[in-house]
Chains A and B, each alone.
Chain A
Amino acid sequence: MEFQAVVMAAGGGSRMTDLTSSIPKPLLPVGNRPLLWYPLNLLERAGFEEVIVITRKEIQKMLNLDTKMKLDFVYISDNVDMGTADSLRHIHQKIKTDVLVLSCDLITDVDLYKVVDLFRTHDATLSMLMKKAHEPTEVAPGQKGKKKPVEQRDFIGVDDTGKRLLFMANEADLDEELVIKRSILQKHPRMHIRTGLMDAHLYCLKKYVVDFLVENRTITSLRSELIPHLVRKQFSVPTSLQQGVDNKDEGRKKKEQASLDIYSFIKEDNSLLKPAPDNSCWNDHRGDMNETLHEGKVRCYVHIMKEGLCCRVNTLALYIEANRQVPKLLLNLGLEEPLVHGTAQITDRGMVGSDSIIGSSTQIGEKTSIKHSIIGSACTIKDKVKITNCIIMNSVTIEEGCCLQGSVICNNAVIEKGADIKDCLIGSDQRLETKAKHVNEVIVGTEQLMEI
Chain B
Amino acid sequence: VATSGAEPEAEGGRGAGAGGARGSEPQEEPPPPLQAVLVADSFNRRFFPISKDRPRALLPMANVAMIDYTLEFLTATGVEETFVFCCWKSAEIKEHLQRSKWCRHTSPNTVRFVTSDLYRSLGDVLRDVDAKSLVRSDFILVTGDVVSNLNVSRALEEHKLRRKMEKNVSVMTMIFKESSPGHHARCKEDDIVIAMDSATNRVLHYQRTQGLKRFRFPMSLFQNSIENVEVRHDLLDCHISICSPQVSSAHQRILNSIGVASLILGNQIHMHVTTEEYGAHICNLLMYEAVCSDIIRRWVYPLTPEMNFTDDKNQSYTHSKHNIYRGVDVSLGHGSMLKENVLIGQGTVIGSNCSIMNSVIGQNCRIGNEVMLDGAFLWDGVHIADNVQIQHSVICDEVEVKEKVKLKPHCVLSSQVVVGPDITLSEGTVISLHPPDEEEEDDDQFSDDSGVNKEESKVKLKGYNKKDVGSEGRGYLWKADDKNEDDEEQRQSLWGPAMLSEEESESDSDLSMGSEEPDSRAASPQLDDIKVFQNEVLGTLQRGEEENISCDNLVLEINSLKYAYNISLSEMMQVLSKVILEFPLQQLDANLDSQNYFSALLPLLKNWTPLFKNYIKRSSDHLNALFAIEEFFLEHDSLCTSIAKVLMTFYQLEILEEDVILNWFSLRDTSDKGKQLRKNQRLQKFIQWLEEAEEESSDGDQD
Contact = CB atoms under 8 A, between A and B. Distances in A.
Interface string B167-183: 00000000000011111
Interface stretch (B227-235, B276-284, B432-440, B447-455): B227-235
Interface string A158-178: 000000000000010110111
A179 B219 contact: no
Contacts of B508: 232, 236
Contacts of A219: 511
A182 interface: yes
Contact of A239 (B180, B209, B507): B507
A189 B232 contact: yes
B700 to A, nearest CB: 47
Contacts of A155: 222
Contact of A177 (B181, B213, B218): B218
Interface stretch (A102-110, A285-293, A345-353): A285-293
25 contacts: A178-B216, A178-B218, A179-B216, A179-B516, A181-B214, A183-B505, A186-B233, A189-B180, A189-B181, A190-B231, A192-B198, A193-B195, A193-B231, A194-B228, A194-B229, A195-B227, A216-B511, A236-B505, A236-B506, A237-B504, A239-B509, A285-B182, A286-B182, A288-B182, A288-B183
A225 B186 CA distance: 37
Contacts of B195: 193
Contact of B180 (A181, A232, A261, A287): A287
B214 A178 contact: no
A264 to B, nearest CB: 11
A317 to B, nearest CB: 18
B216 A189 contact: no
Contacts of B218: 176-178
A195 B224 contact: yes
A271 interface: no
A76 interface: no
Contacts of A191: 230-233
B701 interface: no
Interface string B487-508: 0000000000000001111111
Given A178-B217, A182-B212, A236-B505, 7 more contacts: A176-B218, A216-B511, A242-B507, A285-B182, A287-B179, A288-B183, A289-B182
A257 interface: yes
Nearest to B221: A178
B193 interface: yes
A173 B508 CA distance: 17
Given A237-B505, A287-B180, A157 B215 contact: no
A181 B219 contact: no
Contacts of A186: 181-182, 233, 502
Contact of B230 (A176, A177, A190, A261): A190
A183 B233 CA distance: 11
B667 interface: no
A218 interface: yes
A190 B229 CA distance: 10
A229 interface: yes
Interface centre among A174, A190, A194, A232 (most CB of B within 10 A): A190
Interface in A115-168: 153, 155, 157
Which 3 pairs, one residue from A and one from B, show the smallest C-beta to C-beta distance?
A288-B182, A287-B180, A189-B234
A180 interface: yes
Interface in B159-202: 179-183, 186, 193, 195, 198
A171 B224 CA distance: 13
B231 A180 contact: yes
A179 B181 CA distance: 19
A71 interface: no
A195 B195 CA distance: 14
A181 to B, nearest CB: 5
Interface in B226-285: 227-234
Interface of B: 179-183, 186, 193, 195, 198, 209, 212-219, 221-222, 224, 227-234, 502-509, 511, 513, 516
B410 to A, nearest CB: 20
A218 B221 CA distance: 34
B217 A177 contact: yes
Given A189-B180, A236-B505, A242-B509, A157 B214 contact: no
A182 B352 CA distance: 49
Contacts of B215: 179-182, 185
Contacts of A242: 507, 509
Nearest to A186: B181
A290 B214 CA distance: 22
A196 interface: yes
A289 B184 CA distance: 10
Contact of A185 (B181, B502, B509): B181
Contacts of B502: 186
A21 to B, nearest CB: 33
B224 to A, nearest CB: 7
Contacts of A3: none
A38 interface: no
B414 to A, nearest CB: 32
A236 B513 CA distance: 13
Contacts of A181: 213-215, 505-506
Interface centre among A174, A194, A239, A287 (most CB of B within 10 A): A287
A235 interface: yes
A319 to B, nearest CB: 24
Contact of B507 (A157, A176, A182, A236): A236
Interface in A368-409: none
A229 B181 contact: no
A177 B216 contact: yes
Contacts of B505: 181, 183, 235-237
Contacts of B186: 287
Nearest to B179: A287
A426 to B, nearest CB: 34
B230 A183 contact: no
A182 B209 contact: yes
A192 B229 contact: yes
B214 A179 contact: yes
Contacts of A179: 214-217, 516
B230 A185 contact: no
A131 B278 CA distance: 39
Contact of B214 (A176, A180, A257, A288): A180
Nearest to A184: B505
A185 B207 CA distance: 13
Interface in A219-245: 219, 225, 229, 232, 235-237, 239, 242
A235 B198 CA distance: 25
Contact of B504 (A180, A183, A194, A196): A183
A166 to B, nearest CB: 10
A186 B193 CA distance: 11
Contact of A189 (B233, B506, B511): B233
Interface string A262-295: 0000000000000000000000011111100000
Nearest to A290: B182
Contact of A173 (B179, B504, B506, B513): B513
A237 B218 CA distance: 27
A287 B181 contact: yes
A318 to B, nearest CB: 19
Contacts of B232: 189-191
B222 A193 contact: yes
B224 A182 contact: no
Contact of B213 (A178, A182, A193): A182
B217 A185 contact: no
Contacts of B193: 185
B41 to A, nearest CB: 32
B180 A182 contact: no
A312 B114 CA distance: 66
A237 B507 contact: yes
A219 B181 CA distance: 36
Interface centre among B179, B209, B213, B231 (most CB of A within 10 A): B231
A242 B213 CA distance: 18
Interface centre among B195, B227, B505 (most CB of A within 10 A): B505
